[in-house]
Structure 1
Amino acid sequence: MFTKKRSIIVGITVIFLAVSIFAAPRSAVACSCAEHGSVLETMKRSDTVFEGTAISVKSIASDLFRSSGSRVKASFKVNEVWKGHVAPQIEVLTAGSEDSCGYAFKEGERYLVYARATGSSLEANLCSGTLLHHEAEEHIAQLGSGSLPPQSSSEAQQKDDSFPRSIMIAGIAAVLAAAFLFALVKSRNRFKSKT
């Protein structure tokens, strides 16, 4: 009797496992995007459009609390701007996984980024239209010429100060050279007067 009960329990367990394996849903893609539409439609949906190189890609969440929905911060060196107020360096947030529609930015890669403003930050995802630079030739051609990002105040000041500094350095060098020549001529004259 004990073996009969045991056989029934084992049989029910096997049936339960078989049903759960075959009835389990197949891997589903959590992120699905509607068609991007034309380049101009994609640009209209975006608050910011720029081309730049990812210089840093870091997860915002600590390792302990990281999940597919965790945020990733990508920092870019901006080369060209088509829309929005974009600094020479800018940060864009995205989800940490493609399952959550996160865009997998990689350091050193160039991108055409379509981003939306959410509060005080910019966000891009798989559905925003963002592309690797080498895949974005058609987009860039349709967007036309963009503008350069504004220089940071320190870069602008360095360029403004570089001309006066060079004049000042040249002036100091000329004064030192004149003083040296004057001292050399004076010492020659003393030497001649002694002989």
Structure 2
Amino acid sequence: MLLARSSGYPCRLTNQYQASGMIPMLKHYLKEIADQEFTERNREIPKMTTQVLQEMNSRGITYSTMTLEAIANFLLDEFLARCDFLKDFVVAHPSLLLSENKKDPITFAKTAYQERSFQERDKVSSLYGSSITRIAQSLYNEDMKKQIKERLDQGMEDRIRKNNLYVEVTYREIATAKEVQSNVLLLQPNIAGFGIDLVQLYRQHLEPLLRRG
């Protein structure tokens, strides 16, 4: 389940951290790295949309729904790349969050991923609108224009949901592994600062003595 529908509506956990002035390390580094990565990509987008328009113009179909579809497809691919970048970062760096001993690391990880994904979704949606304004105004097929925009929006939402599941599964597996490890450690009393497995202790010391007897 998605935790928030828009970057304009931060979740309760985000509000708590903003109020306290504390930002989780995972969210901090995700923002820093994503800002650098996406700033570079943002500079290239106008060039790429211009190339799309030039390609369509060379085919004599600039003012057509095919141009709208070409720009929508290009921007959808751009969003998918960004969304996957965010997911890969969150999945690859769980220690940034787990080291802070959060009570609910799964929710925190999903929140960090989702909030930035929603920001990029809104940004791409805005870029689409500004890129096709003049062309869209010249077209009268409102249904087709609406369908193209809806496919773009749906494609972005689908990838956010899919990657959200990857993030949840990754952190749930980590949480489960930690729980199992904790249960095992309960059977390993600490002697002189070293964890000793009871079975290993029996096999090394007591079992040989019993055999002699």
Compute the TM-score of the two structures, normalised by the length of structure 1.
Answer: 0.30
More helix by share: 2
More strand by share: 1
Compute the TM-score of the two structures, normalised by the length of structure 2.
Answer: 0.28
Query: Which protein shows a greater Rg?
Result: 1
Which structure carries more relative contact order (alpha carbon 8 Å, separation 6+)? 2
